[in-house]
A and B are shown apart, each in its own frame.
Chain A
Amino acid sequence: MIRSIRACKTAADERAVVAKECAVLRNAFRDNDQDYRHRNVAKLMFIHMLGYPTHFGQMECIKLIAAGSFPEKRIGYLGLMLLVDERQEVLMLVTNSLKNDLNHSNQFIVGLALCALGNICTAEMARDLALEVEKLLHNNNSYIRKKAALCSLRIVRKVPDLIDYVMVPATSLLTDKHHGVLISGVKLCTELCQVSEVAVQHYRKVCTAHVMSLIRVLKNLVVSGYAPEYDVNGITDPFLQIRLLRLLGLLGKGDPETSDNMSDILAQVATNTEGSKNAGNAILYECVQTIMSIETIGGLRVLAINILGRFLANRDNNIRYVALNTLVKVVSVDTQAVQRHRTTIVECVKDSDISIQRRALELICALVNVSNVKTLTKELIDYLKVSDPEFKGDLTAKISSLVQRFSPNKQWYIDQMILLMIEAGKYVTPDVTRALVVVISNASELQGYTVRALYRVFQAWNGQESLGQVTIWCIGEYGEMLVDHLNEVEGEEPLTVTESDAVDIVETVLKDTRVSSDTLAFCLTALLKLSSRFSHCADHIKALIFEYKGSVVLELQQRAIEFGSILSKHTDIKAALLERMPVLDEATYYSAKQVEMGVDGNQTATSEPHSNGHVAQPNGLAKHLAPENSLIDLLSFLPDEQPSAPDKSPDDSLLGSLGINTLAGSDIMTSPVHPSSSGGANMLLELLSLGSSPAALPVASSQESAASVQPPSLKSSLLDVQPPFAIHKGSSLTQDVLGGQPHKSPTSNADPFANLNSLSMPVASGENAAHTSIVAMQTNGLKITFEFTKPAGSPQTTIIRATHTNLSSSPYTDYLFQAAVPKFMQLQLEPASSNFLPANGDGFITQIIKATNNMHGQKAIVMKLRVSFKSNGQNNLEQAQVNNFPAGL
């Protein structure tokens, strides 16, 4: 039959032959053919091995087992082991036959039964037959004893409760002379020790003598001369030696006394074993593992690590592999010793075998620290250039995490990341680029350097997504530094770039077919930003943006249209809108990341805690109110994945952001006074109302939701946005409006205006001071004091009475006081008592501020103030941050 199957040329032929054979076999089984049964079952096994179903034959095996003669039983058991697996119920039927055979007088039949039991024993069988097996452990025949030992092993694995049966008999196996029995016995003991701590105790306590005897056996093996029967390349029975070593390791773990006893023999094994052949190395390897697992003195450890060092230098890859593998485990115990082999390990990363590469890379990552990160990273990045594509992903991830964790300074970090993006741009994850952008934004003195470095490498850009995004972002933000050489770092090559060169870069990316729409969105935003700084190129930029008005990607189309309208309609606010982004808050970023990834202590090392959390946005303030989306998207670079525009329905987002513009536009039509400026102001107001109290005001739902998912830093930047807009309120209309005359405003805008008023200009009514008052702000001409009262029943709320005094010699007119608070607070400003402040402290303005601290008891109140006024016909602006509020507010 085998011959005929082998003769088959095609799979179809083979199937036909097998089908025919199966039919014949079925018939034979049905006819209860006694004579050929075992041959039939043998055929069946072959068919099974070819991968055809053979369930119909299972019963035949059982019949064979029940038969009397040895050959039949033999085939029967073999068939049983192959065709039936332990989950099938047929096995229930075999239990009885097995029991009979275990008690059989013929040692060969007992051997067969034990063998079958060892291979397919189920939990029930284990319970039923444990006693028989235990009896056989004491059998005179070594052949039976070793099989019984391994059967017990299987039984204990299946039913750990049965451990008591075998513990004592297993001990006696350890003194056996026969190698087969010994190796099985040692394995059994090892298994017992792994399963139960009780067993470990037992062997340690009762068998100190046995530990000694184990050691003696091992010693004999090590020093004994040539033993032909067990010899493997001149080493006597390495298998047994390894088993013994492993058991010793288990016994010595956590027990100094036992460890002490065995240290001599371990040293002996480690020094006497010859490492030129595989068998010898296997023993050395196991010996090292044993040494590492027991409680040893330093000397032995050093010996072990030296052995591994020798392994590393070995030319055989197998040996190197196990060395690396063990070093990974050892590195936590003794980093110093492993560091010595660093160069060799780096070489291993470059090996062509993926098994070795992986291990070596893992080991390297465990080895890197602040002192060697520079050299190791350089090595790894060099290697990245030549490595397999499939390995690059891993390697890139590891390098970037190393660079992030151990970078000695930011410039180095930025350099390395740029290199990494050049080499393996497509493997750099968005997470990593985000982290990079945060770092760049925080390193104000390196921004110029970074953008120039990026510009330089970008000449050789080859479609790497991450490099594209970071470069475009940087050009957008810091484009002018490219042109005017700000913040040159020592040793930097001079670079001449014109404005149009910078725009050209963006254009290249924009026109490149390889980049994703995400990157295109980056480009559009960058262009918009550049338009305010590079006045020569404004028209070119406009044209570029307009091209995308018809884009099929909603996100791009929307941006193009929004940006287009900013460029063409709102030139007066454009400059303010398009200023640089606020510094991205590292602390927030990393804390968000840590929440995401679970706490990783090392990361905080690189993040510099921001003094005042999100309240303090030291410079620049965010003025990109503009379409709020663009802000969100700019920030979507950042930690939290915010839903970007495409998530919303187009209607919503248009209404939310651009809708404001058009609304404002229509007001311009109807409004008789100063159309342009009032239009601008309307929009500002609307945006203001959105920005400053997202929680309090019911505004366009999409923006509301967008605002509520923003990270704290974004919120506060929106809050900070408020003041600059006040400066723009040049027109009389807005001043009137802000001055507390809401009825003059166009009806369609009544809502936001009212809101704004309620926010900023309320009238004061007296309150008693219950807390000590503070001086909130004092400049050479102006003093503002705060007095506090707490309304009964609401500890979160504080009523602040602000008193403004003019200490200068000239009166202030158009006096306007504004305040902003962080996200966890809410603020309500009632109208001021007046907007005129007489000179020389000759009078004062009072204003009531209602502050609600939602995190009362956890965070103290902080507030940012801004005051604008006219004195001597000049516009003045003062701002301050108040954080000396009395405790308990």
Chain B
Amino acid sequence: IRFILLQNRQGKTRLAKYYIPLEDSEKHKLEFEVHRLVVNRDPKFTNFVEFRTHKVIYRRYAGLFFSLCVDITDNELVYLESIHLFVEILDHFFSNVCELDLVFNFQKVYLILDEFILAGELQETSKKAIIERMGELERQE
């Protein structure tokens, strides 16, 4: 995975995590382009779009777009599945997640993401393990 973006329909970035080094200006351009690419697609269309030399795999949950940028040779379906898993984890953690949860607890979202994906690779596939881990971490504070 090269980067993960969470954007709402207006193109506001709610979460951005890059696993490749990029300049800030480059990041903004990218976020803008991905948003434009993803937002106009019909729900019947595939969840995969070719983007520059890579592929963007996106999934829409209500007003939020979860986009992953992966290599062209990667298995698209499994990343699509992992987006879903991530959303389920968020849903569990915030019990019925909505966009506002993500805005006000953005640092927690990042922490969950760090438990889920590390160095651009899936780290843990068990929803239960991640939730428990988050609980332990919270208790530490």
Interface residues on A, range: 35 or more
The stretch among A351-359, A430-438, A532-540 that forms the contact with chain B is A351-359
**Contact present for A353 and B81 (CB under 8 Å):** no
Which partner residue on chain A sits nearest B50 by CB separation?
A355
Q: Chain A residues near B49 (CB, 8 Å)?
A: 355
Q: Chain A residues near B124 (CB, 8 Å)?
A: 146, 179-180, 183
Per the bound structure, the CA–CA distance linking A431 and B119 in Å amounts to 48
**Contact present for B76 and A286 (CB under 8 Å):** no
Q: Write out, one digit per residue, whether chain B residues 62-86 have a CB within 8 A of any chain A CB (1) or not (0).
A: 0000000000000111101110110
Give chain B interface residues in 1-50, CB to chain A under 8 Å: 13-16, 18-19, 21-22, 24, 28, 41-42, 44-50
Q: Chain B residues near A118 (CB, 8 Å)?
A: 118-119
The stretch among A317-325, A489-497, A814-822, A835-843 that forms the contact with chain B is A317-325
Known: A239-B82, A318-B47. A153 touches B121 (CB 8 A): yes
Give chain A interface residues in 270-313, CB to chain B under 8 Å: 278-279, 281-282, 285-286, 289
Q: Chain A residues near B18 (CB, 8 Å)?
A: 85
Q: Choose among B42, B119, B129 the residue that contacts A153 (Cβ–Cβ < 8 A).
A: B119
Interface residues on B, range: 35 or more
Which partner residue on chain B sits nearest A151 by CB separation?
B119
**Contact present for B76 and A87 (CB under 8 Å):** no
**Contact present for B107 and A45 (CB under 8 Å):** yes
Which partner residue on chain A sits nearest B75 by CB separation?
A286
**Contact present for B78 and A242 (CB under 8 Å):** yes
> B61 near A: Cβ within 8 Å?
no
Q: Write out, one digit per residue, whether chain A residues 229-244 have a CB within 8 A of any chain B CB (1) or not (0).
A: 1101000011110110
> A56 near B: Cβ within 8 Å?
no
**Contact present for A85 and B21 (CB under 8 Å):** yes
Give chain A interface residues in 1-16, CB to chain B under 8 Å: 2, 6
> A685 near B: Cβ within 8 Å?
no
Q: Write out, one digit per residue, whether chain A residues 168-193 have a CB within 8 A of any chain B CB (1) or not (0).
A: 00000000000110011001000000
Known: A150-B123, A317-B44, A355-B50. A78 touches B77 (CB 8 A): no
Q: Write out, one digit per residue, whether chain B residues 97-115 have a CB within 8 A of any chain A CB (1) or not (0).
A: 0000001101100110010
**Contact present for B75 and A242 (CB under 8 Å):** yes
**Contact present for B114 and A115 (CB under 8 Å):** yes
> B87 near A: Cβ within 8 Å?
no
**Contact present for A87 and B21 (CB under 8 Å):** yes
Give chain A interface residues in 794-845, CB to chain B under 8 Å: none
Q: Chain A residues near B81 (CB, 8 Å)?
A: 232, 238-239, 278-279, 282
**Contact present for A74 and B137 (CB under 8 Å):** yes
Q: Choose among B28, B84, B133 the residue that contacts A143 (Cβ–Cβ < 8 A).
A: B133
**Contact present for A352 and B121 (CB under 8 Å):** no
Task: Kindly name the residue among B24, B104, B124 whose own CB sees the greatest number of chain A CB atoms within 10 A.
Answer: B124
> B140 near A: Cβ within 8 Å?
yes
Per the bound structure, the CA–CA distance linking A85 and B20 in Å amounts to 9
Please give the distance in Å from A134's CB to the nearest CB on chain B. Answer: 16
**Contact present for B137 and A108 (CB under 8 Å):** yes
Q: Chain B residues near A151 (CB, 8 Å)?
A: 118-119
Task: Kindly name the residue among A87, A239, A289, A353 whose own CB sees the greatest number of chain B CB atoms within 10 A.
Answer: A239
**Contact present for B46 and A237 (CB under 8 Å):** no
How many inter-chain residue pairs (CB < 8 Å) link A and B?
151
Per the bound structure, the CA–CA distance linking A51 and B107 in Å amounts to 16
Per the bound structure, the CA–CA distance linking A6 and B48 in Å amounts to 32
Per the bound structure, the CA–CA distance linking A355 and B127 in Å amounts to 32
A-side binding surface: helix, strand, loop or mixed? helix
Please give the distance in Å from B10's CB to the nearest CB on chain A. Answer: 12
**Contact present for B76 and A78 (CB under 8 Å):** no
Q: Write out, one digit per residue, whether chain A residues 98-113 have a CB within 8 A of any chain B CB (1) or not (0).
A: 0000000000100000
Please give the distance in Å from B120's CB to the nearest CB on chain A. Answer: 8
> A42 near B: Cβ within 8 Å?
yes
Q: Choose among B76, B127, B140 the residue that contacts A108 (Cβ–Cβ < 8 A).
A: B140
Q: Chain B residues near A45 (CB, 8 Å)?
A: 106-107
Q: Choose among A75, A279, A358 the residue that contacts B107 (Cβ–Cβ < 8 A).
A: A75
Per the bound structure, the CA–CA distance linking A118 and B121 in Å amounts to 10
Q: Chain A residues near B125 (CB, 8 Å)?
A: 179-180, 183, 230, 237, 239-240
Q: Chain B residues near A285 (CB, 8 Å)?
A: 75, 77
> A53 near B: Cβ within 8 Å?
yes
Q: Chain A residues near B44 (CB, 8 Å)?
A: 317, 352-353
> A49 near B: Cβ within 8 Å?
yes
Known: A150-B121, A239-B122, A321-B46. A6 touches B103 (CB 8 A): yes
**Contact present for A229 and B24 (CB under 8 Å):** no
Q: Chain A residues near B133 (CB, 8 Å)?
A: 143
> A70 near B: Cβ within 8 Å?
yes
Task: Kindly name the residue among B78, B111, B127 whose own CB sees the greatest number of chain A CB atoms within 10 A.
Answer: B78
Which partner residue on chain B sits nearest A42 by CB separation?
B107
Q: Write out, one digit per residue, whether chain A residues 247-285 have a CB within 8 A of any chain B CB (1) or not (0).
A: 000000000000000000000000000000011011001
> A391 near B: Cβ within 8 Å?
no
Which partner residue on chain A sits nearest B103 by CB separation?
A2
Q: Write out, one digit per residue, whether chain A residues 147-158 have a CB within 8 A of any chain B CB (1) or not (0).
A: 100110110000
**Contact present for A86 and B21 (CB under 8 Å):** yes
Per the bound structure, the CA–CA distance linking A87 and B123 in Å amounts to 25
> B96 near A: Cβ within 8 Å?
no
Identify the 4 closest CB pairs spanning chains A and B, nearest first: A282-B77, A118-B119, A353-B45, A154-B119
Residue contacts A-B, CB under 8 angstroms, 23 given: A2-B103, A49-B106, A51-B24, A70-B141, A71-B140, A78-B107, A146-B123, A150-B118, A150-B119, A153-B121, A179-B124, A184-B123, A242-B75, A286-B75, A320-B46, A322-B77, A352-B42, A352-B44, A352-B45, A353-B42, A353-B45, A353-B46, A356-B46
Known: A51-B13, A319-B77. 12 other contacts (CB 8 A): A78-B107, A86-B21, A119-B114, A119-B118, A146-B123, A180-B126, A232-B81, A279-B77, A281-B77, A286-B75, A321-B48, A353-B45
